């Protein structure tokens, strides 16, 4: 009896010790994540909300920067952000629930479910093709001048499909993966057709209510939504309010809002059969062309020191003023959610840093933007001072600044927008010097010369761009116009 009691006490004490040790490790990791993300926010590279779970348990959640810059309202873990294309995974879940019930078939034809859709292409495209971006139907967001001329106007589902999701096929269905918002818009219409309810109502009934995702829904501009983040776009000299977008357009491809905390509930539910049986979840998470499954990218991520790569199931989103990324490391039930409300930024880099912290590996700290630094110098001094500063910083602080090709390219276009064409040309020439084998540096310099009226130099740089990349259609079009003139 005494031995049994001693063994029991030892087991209890060991459990307490292990729990305490785990909590200590988790706190250390949380501190590192906070330090890293604080630097990203300090360098104007992140403004939003973060949640990290380890082994299914939340170890870190925090907001950075402002949900509303005009009123200085800070972001928090329950701030609501537009999700953009993270919406697609919820659409695919609704489709798979219908598949499980026998109401739809993955090899069923688009024309079988939307009678008003054009028959010639509708008879070739399957539900599987729509889910995997292999349908060949042109994506409406890629149509010429779509955002300038169409994105502010409301449309009914059928009207929008007929006008903007019914183009001629770009390739044979199933042969190529090409990211496609039209496909998921069509899936939303199919869900409505089969259920007799709105896409929004089905989401609430089949996913959000069962999971108690009370801070998630279809975003409507006119609704009063507590704790909704405003969307902004970043420029080198500050932020501006993001352009208006009528939310009838992103629809089942990108119209949802949520919080990091609600996306944690979603992540945890995907380990259970509460929404879908394991058989159909396995189908949903099976990658096809370009590692794309049904609303998710499924890949293997190597980790230094581990024999086996990690299975990551992830998806990003981008919509006016917001970009987002949810990453599930299902081997260990880790989760990383990043929601940002200042336009595009490199959330993948931040996620990789957090992954390294979770696995006790070294991580790269964020780097300051060389473009922002040079932009300030140009405005306060002149272009010569900026060029000198670039070479000095590259020599002395190479590891502290981001010297990627895109930095000077973006700076060049920012200067063009400011009417500083001569300064833009000098910056883009510097980029050609730094990246002589990159076709886009010559393309951008050619465009700057063209704006400045230097046609011979424009032609010269466009030709060099085409030499490096014969598929650069922008250079082809520019040269054609120049030669016609």
* The pLDDT of residue 1: 54
Query: Are 141 and 263 in the same domain?
Result: yes
Q: Classify 175 as helix, strand or coil.
A: coil
Query: Are 157 and 241 in the same domain?
Result: yes
Rounded mean pLDDT of 235-243? 92
Long-range contacts, stretch 426-430, CB < 8 angstroms, 24+ apart: 426/383, 426/387, 427/374, 427/383, 427/386, 430/387, 430/390
Query: Are 106 and 155 in the same domain?
Result: yes
Is residue 172 assigned to a domain? yes
Q: Please determine, for residue 126, whether its predicted confidence score (pLDDT) is greater than 70.
A: yes
Is residue 330 assigned to a domain? yes
For residues 163 and 120, the answer to whether their CB atoms sit within 8 Å is no
Rounded mean pLDDT of 291-305? 92
Query: Are 231 and 319 in the same domain?
Result: yes
Rounded CA separation 216/256 (Å)? 7
State how far the alpha carbon of 478 is from the alpha carbons of 143, 444, 465, in Å.
Answer: 19, 11, 11
Query: Are 247 and 119 in the same domain?
Result: yes
What is the DSSP code (8-state) at residue 306? Answer: -
Cα 29–Cα 76–Cα 333 angle in degrees, nearest 5? 40
Q: Measured in whole angstroms, how far is the alpha carbon of residue 104 from the centre of its chain?
A: 29
Q: Classify 311 as helix, strand or coil.
A: strand
Instruction: Work out the pLDDT band at 158, boundaries 50, 70, 90.
Output: very high
Percent of the chain with pLDDT over 70: 95
Query: Are 289 and 348 in the same domain?
Result: yes
Q: What is the CATH number of the domain that holds 183?
A: 3.40.710.10
Long-range contacts, stretch 480-484, CB < 8 angstroms, 24+ apart: 482/450, 482/455, 482/458, 483/459
Query: Are 376 and 285 in the same domain?
Result: no
Is residue 291 assigned to a domain? yes
Q: Where would I find the beta strands (DSSP E) of 157-231?
A: 217-218
Is residue 76 assigned to a domain? no
Number of domain units in the chain: 2
What pLDDT, in 10s, does the model give residues 338-381? Answer: 999 999 999 999 999 999 999 999 998 999 999 999 999 999 99
Is residue 46 assigned to a domain? no
Pick the range with the lowest mean pLDDT from 22-26, 76-80, 219-223.
22-26
Query: Are 279 and 416 in the same domain?
Result: no
Q: Please determine, for residue 316, whether its predicted confidence score (pLDDT) is greater than 70.
A: yes
Q: Which residue has the higher pLDDT, 304 or 212?
A: 212
* The pLDDT of residue 27: 86
Q: What is the CATH number of the domain that holds 388?
A: 1.25.40.10
Q: Please determine, for residue 19, whether its predicted confidence score (pLDDT) is greater than 50.
A: no
Q: Please determine, for residue 3, whether its predicted confidence score (pLDDT) is greater than 90.
A: no
* The pLDDT of residue 417: 92
What pLDDT, in 10s, does the model give residues 161-211? Answer: 999 999 999 999 999 999 999 999 999 999 999 999 999 999 999 999 999
Rounded CA separation 57/52 (Å)? 8
Contacts of 428 (CB under 8 A, 6+ apart): 408, 409, 412, 441, 444, 445, 448
Residue that is last in its domain, among 328, 358, 388:
358
* The pLDDT of residue 20: 47
Q: Please determine, for residue 4, whether its predicted confidence score (pLDDT) is greater than 80.
A: no
Instruction: Work out the pLDDT band at 139, boundaries 50, 70, 90.
Output: very high
* The pLDDT of residue 15: 54
The dihedral region occupied by 345, where left means phi > 0, alpha psi between -120 and 50, and beta the remainder, is beta
Query: Are 132 and 245 in the same domain?
Result: yes
Q: Please determine, for residue 268, whether its predicted confidence score (pLDDT) is greater than 80.
A: yes
Q: Give burial (CB, 10 Å; 0-12/13-18/19+) of 199.
A: buried
Rounded CA separation 313/320 (Å)? 24
Query: Are 153 and 249 in the same domain?
Result: yes
Q: Which domain holds residue 451?
A: 368-484
Q: Where would I find the beta strands (DSSP E) of 97-196?
A: none
Compute the mean pLDDT over every residue in the chain, rounded to the nearest whole number.
94
Q: Please determine, for residue 22, whether its predicted confidence score (pLDDT) is greater than 80.
A: no
Cα pseudo-dihedral 84, 88, 94, 96, rounded to 10? -170
Is residue 249 assigned to a domain? yes
Please list the residues that pair with 239 across neighbouring strands. 234
For residues 32 and 364, the answer to whether their CB atoms sit within 8 Å is no
Q: Please determine, for residue 156, whether its predicted confidence score (pLDDT) is greater than 60.
A: yes
Residue that is last in its domain, among 358, 382, 416:
358
* The pLDDT of residue 12: 53
Is residue 152 assigned to a domain? yes
φ, ψ (nearest 5 deg) of residue 320 = -35, 110
What is the DSSP code (8-state) at residue 375? Answer: H
Query: Are 351 and 443 in the same domain?
Result: no
Is residue 165 assigned to a domain? yes
- CA-nearest of 203, 181, 299, 197 to 249 is 181
Residue that is last in its domain, among 358, 380, 396:
358
What pLDDT, in 10s, does the model give residues 83-122? Answer: 999 999 999 999 999 999 999 999 999 999 999 999 999 9
Query: Are 300 and 372 in the same domain?
Result: no
Rounded CA separation 30/60 (Å)? 6
């Amino acid at each position: 009896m005494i031995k049994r009691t001693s063994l029991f006490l030892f087991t209890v004490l060991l459990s307490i010790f292990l729990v305490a040790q785990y909590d200590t490790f988790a706190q250390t990791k949380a501190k590192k994540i906070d330090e890293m993300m604080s630097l990203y926010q300090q360098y104007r590279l992140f403004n939003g909300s973060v949640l990290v779970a380890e082994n299914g348990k939340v170890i870190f959640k925090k907001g950075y920067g402002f949900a509303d810059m005009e009123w200085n309202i800070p972001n928090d873990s329950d701030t609501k952000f537009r999700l953009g294309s993270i919406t697609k995974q919820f659409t695919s879940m609704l489709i798979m629930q219908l598949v499980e019930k026998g109401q739809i078939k993955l090899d069923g034809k688009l024309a079988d479910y939307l009678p008003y859709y054009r028959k010639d292409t509708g008879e070739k495209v399957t539900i599987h093709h729509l889910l995997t971006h292999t349908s060949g139907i042109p994506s409406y967001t890629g149509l010429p001048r779509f955002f300038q001329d169409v994105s502010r106007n409301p449309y009914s589902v059928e009207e929008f499909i007929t006008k903007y999701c019914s183009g001629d096929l770009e390739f044979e269905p199933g042969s190529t993966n090409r990211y496609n918002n039209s496909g998921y818009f069509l899936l939303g219409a199919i869900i409505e057709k089969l259920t007799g309810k709105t896409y929004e109502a089905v989401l609430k009934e089949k996913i959000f209510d069962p999971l108690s995702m009370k801070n998630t829904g279809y975003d409507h501009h006119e609704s009063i939504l507590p704790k909704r983040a405003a969307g902004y776009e970043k420029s080198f000299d500050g932020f501006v309010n993001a352009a208006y977008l009528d939310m009838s357009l992103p629809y089942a491809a990108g119209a949802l809002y949520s919080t990091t905390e609600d996306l944690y509930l979603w992540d945890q539910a995907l380990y259970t059969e509460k929404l879908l049986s394991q058989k159909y979840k396995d189908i949903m998470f099976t990658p096809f062309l370009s590692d794309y499954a049904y609303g998710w990218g499924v890949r293997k991520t190597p980790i230094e020191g581990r024999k086996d790569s990690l299975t990551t199931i992830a998806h990003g989103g981008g919509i006016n003023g917001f970009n987002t990324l949810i990453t599930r490391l299902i081997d260990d039930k880790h989760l990383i959610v990043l929601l940002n409300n200042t336009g595009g930024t490199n959330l993948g880099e931040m996620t990789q840093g957090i992954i390294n912290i979770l696995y006790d590996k070294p991580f790269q700290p964020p780097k300051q933007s060389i473009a922002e630094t040079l932009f300030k110098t140009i405005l306060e001094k002149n272009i010569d001072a900026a060029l000198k500063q670039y070479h000095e910083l590259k020599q002395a602080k190479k590891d502290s600044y981001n010297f990627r090709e895109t930095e000077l390219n973006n700076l060049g276009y920012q200067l063009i927008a400011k009417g500083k064409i001569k300064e833009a040309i000098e910056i883009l020439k510097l980029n050609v010097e730094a990246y002589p084998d990159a076709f886009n540096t010559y393309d951008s310099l050619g465009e700057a010369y063209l704006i400045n009226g230097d046609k011979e130099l424009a032609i010269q740089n466009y030709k060099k761009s085409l030499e490096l990349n014969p598929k650069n259609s922008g250079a082809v079009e520019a040269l054609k116009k120049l030669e016609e003139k």
